[in-house]
Amino acid sequence: MFSQTSEAVQPNAGGLIKDTTTATFRDDVLAESTRQPVLVDFWAPWCGPCKQMTPVLEKAVTSAAGKVKLVKMNIDEHPQIAGQLGIKSIPAIVAFQNGRPVDGFSGALPESEIKGFIERLVGPVENETDALLAEAEAALEEGRPQDAGEIFSEVLHTEPANVTAASGLARALVSLDRASDALSVLETLPAEAASDAKVAAARVAVDLALQAANLGDLGEFEKRLEANPEDHQARFDLAVALNGRGERPAAADALLYIIKKQRTWEDDKARQQLLQFFEAWGPLDQDTIDARRKLSALLFS
């Protein structure tokens, strides 16, 4: 069984990342940039944004797999080059090609923008992490949560803060009836990750799974409905339990029945629950699309 979390593994620079000085700048940057672009990161120990951007920048360079190198220069110890380039604020990144500066930016940028900056220099960069995440998502969609979980865990081994991998692992664990483990995975993420749409959807899926686990066997609700087809609470609980078993269309239909019969039941409780299903399933999931179409037909007919 795959693990849930792993310790961080430092990026394997493989010669792609190094420090430089005024004395070695010519060899490390000017000469090296005749072979591939070299990014020079001008930073200082007191610079908070520099510390914030360093892991993101190093990750982007490592992901470029040798198409670009990163050279770091502490401007407190070596101010001359930064002065010659007119750098007035840090962090500042200057790209060198063929021995001269060709592009740059200042300030801490998000990973996507740094990747875009690198791709302007070297063309499209194949990201191994993105490929693994796509493979894991495909495995989940194909009903192979064990395979998906192993791949998500592999990503988390090298990127413990990857919210896409963590949320995907949580969803895989839910599919394997391990909702408590899934909750533990999500709780390892920083508080700010809660606003990420994928993390929020995974959290809803975990909550629904835990809710379904507390309901017990479906037989009780089916018997109650046989005795009274208008027992909305029994049908509501049946919907939650069905969703917990992966029977999404049947779960949606049970809630849609309640909405059709009594929209205002328990302060619109059935519709609110259905919207939670949609959030957990994802907006592009076919079951979401089908059920949302049925819901719209009911509400606007």
pLDDT tens-digit map of 68-103: 999 999 999 999 999 999 998 999 999 999 999 999
More confident residue, 195 or 3: 195
pLDDT of 259 above 50: yes
Instruction: Label residue 188 by pLDDT band (50, 70, 90).
Output: confident
Domains within the chain, CATH numbers bracketed: 17-122 (3.40.30.10), 128-195 (1.25.40.10), 219-299 (1.25.40.10)
Per-residue confidence (pLDDT) for residue 12, from 0 to 100? 39
Strand arrangement, sheet containing 92-97: 17-19, 69-74, 38-43, 92-97, 100-106
Helices (H), the chain: 25, 48-63, 80-84, 111-122, 128-141, 145-158, 163-175, 179-187, 197-213, 219-227, 232-244, 248-261, 269-281, 286-299
CA distance 258 to 299: 12
What is each CA distance from 146 to 71, 171, 208, 279, in whole angstroms?
41, 11, 20, 22
Q: What is the pLDDT of residues 17-42, one digit of tens each?
A: 999 999 999 999 999 999 999 999 99
Listed residue (40, 195, 23, 241) closest to 203, CA to CA: 195
pLDDT level of residue 9 (50, 70, 90 thresholds): very low
In angstroms, the CA 92 to CA 161 distance is 25
pLDDT of residue 67: 87
Average pLDDT over residues 165-176: 92
Supply the Cα-derived Rg of the chain in whole angstroms: 26
Query: What whole-number percentage of the chain has pLDDT above 70?
Result: 94
- The per-residue pLDDT for 209 is 86
Q: Are strands 69-74 and 17-19 parallel, antiparallel or unpaired?
A: parallel
Q: What is the pLDDT of residues 101-151, one digit of tens each?
A: 999 999 988 888 998 999 999 887 766 778 889 899 999 888 899 999 999
69-74 and 92-97 strand pairing:
unpaired
Longest dimension (CA), the chain: 87
Span 179-208, average pLDDT = 86
Residues 125, 115: Cα–Cα separation, whole Å: 8
Residue 10 has pLDDT above 70, yes or no: no
With cut-offs at 50, 70 and 90, classify the pLDDT of residue 14: low
Residue at token pair 């849609």: 256
Backbone angles phi, psi at 17, to 5 degrees: -130, 130
Buried b (16+ CB within 10 A) or exposed e, 58-86: bbbbbbbeebbbbbbbbbeebeebbeeee
For residue 32, CA distances in Å to 26, 117, 265 come to 8, 19, 70
Specify which residues 18 forms β-bridges with: 71
- CB 282, CB 294: distance < 8 Å: no
Q: What percentage of residues in the chain have a pLDDT greater than 90?
A: 51
Mean pLDDT of the chain: 87
At 250, the pLDDT band (50, 70, 90 cuts) reads very high
Please list the active-site residues.
47, 50
